[in-house]
Structure 1
Amino acid sequence: MTNHKPDLTLVILAAGLGSRFGGDKQLAQLGPNGETMLELSLASAYKAGFNRAVLVIRPELTAMLDEALAGKLADDFSCEYCIQSMDDLPAGAAKYVDLAQRQKPWGTAHALWSAREHVHGPMAVINADDFYGDSAFSLLADGLVAANDDWMMVAYPIGLTLSDNGGVNRGLCQVAAGKLVDVAEWLDIRCEVSGLTGTLNEQRLAIAEDAVVSMTCWGFKADIFSVIEQQFNHFLELNGQHPKAECYLPTVVQARLDEQSAAIPSKTVNVSVAKESWYGVTYPKDVTWVREKLQQTLCNQ
């Protein structure tokens, strides 16, 4: 399909360690023809009108991604790598950080901030190891070409995003009239005898069965980078000595929603609910189920 919406960039966050999965999920061959989730997303984005991608990665993934993507991208679709480095910090933040004790990357907010020199216009932001479906990218493309400063998110019903093999982390959303009101990162969400529960601010709480969640399927304009820098700096001041604490994109978005004054206009985040199921692997036991679902979904299109 010929692209008709110019200058749309897809940023794929692909530097994660996959600690619960036990390896690089972004390279797992899960599609019906052995495709990675990343390959499936690139194909969907191209069909929706995106013309370039920036992959945020760890250096050791470069050669493997080169091999995986060789000959698979359209001539009019560009793809470049951006390295997420733990010592790539905002000015003045180094004094808060103990890199010698750091055991993992700084999280999704820092991953996107790492791409700040590579993206200067409308961008979609997704995870490398998730399947979002063609319609999610069409929704993102349509929202991003709107001539305003709004951000956007494609949300998913929480019931479509859980794992039978353990707890998962999700950005739980409150939405009113199609606008995001609140988003917060909940940890270890799982079905228990009492119902759906998760951990928020170190408290175990109940979650509504009809809740919608952020699956890192965002649409941003370039102003996101200044917001991330401010919030990441604040995060490091509080957590820079922690070996595993992460700064999440939902936390950054919520901080911007809360930041309103005469000098700072309000920010609108438009929310679309996905028309297709989300699939992802958190644990090794998820692989068989995801492969079966992708086979059913993609071979029936």
Structure 2
Amino acid sequence: MNLGSLKVSNPYLLAPMAGYTDMPFRKICREFGCALTFSELVSVNALCFDNKKTLQYLKRDGIDKPFCIQLFGSEPELFKEAVQRVEDLCECIDINAGCPAPKVIRAKAGAYLLKDTDNFLKIIDAVVKATKKPVSIKMRMGYDAPNSDDLYRAIEDRGVSFITIHGRLKKEYFKGEVDYNHIAHVKELINIPVVANGGIDSFKKLQRVKAITGCEFFMVGQAAIGKPFIFEDFLSKRDTKRDLEFIKSVMLRHLSYLYNFSGKKAISQFRKFFHAYLKGYPNVKKFNNMINRCSDYYEAVEIIEKVGKPT
């Protein structure tokens, strides 16, 4: 399958998510069949000033290919320099025009670009001219109101390979109904691939989104946290409820990847994943409390192994 000039093995993509889509989590999602991953949001300002923490976002495992680095910022020249620094580390460059976080909006980046479309298009021009790699856009359907048809046409005309549309306005953050009809409209409007994003949390929901939008490609974000096997469900065309022992085996594997990646920091970084993996399973509150107090890798392993067993 082709996303513009980018080849992928299937139509299911993992969304870029700050604080979540690090190398270990992307590796887990790959093992369950995810076809394309994105880095956490990478600041062009931080890249250009050699911020060490930011460089961690660029690391990937050998199976993590194709891999897209997502950049955010507000200055076209910094985007150009950032692209030159990272293009050898990935197969695709993505421009963030969707993040609604207040600190990103204050920096006139992310979804703010949908208000300042002149600058948005200058950024796209700078990125496309700076690299031979495919360029994509991840964007909201609008800031305070839906994006114009002219904006989508202008994006296509600038040589972007594909766009991902989260079917909510900036002001809606991650709540409220996703407007799949807007995504369907854009799919008919332009000739480059459109990736549907927002609220896809099961194979049943995927079928509905596919029917409404007519899209061939789909991006999953929050639904993959604690459920990376959602990609396997999509590929097998069925929704599954995995038993607790299976979940624990995935947790242990994920924790080991994270520990190898981050060392002692892994335990605190894993807590949010721990809670997500066990969400909906009975009698897990005490284990959530235990992991919140834990700071040792081997203790964390023991906590996971005890889940669901008589104490």
TM-score normalised to structure 1 length: 0.27
More strand by share: 1
For the pair shown, the structure with the greater C-alpha radius of gyration is 2
> Greater relative contact order: 1 or 2 (C-alpha under 8 angstroms, separation 6 or more)?
1
TM-score normalised to structure 2 length: 0.26
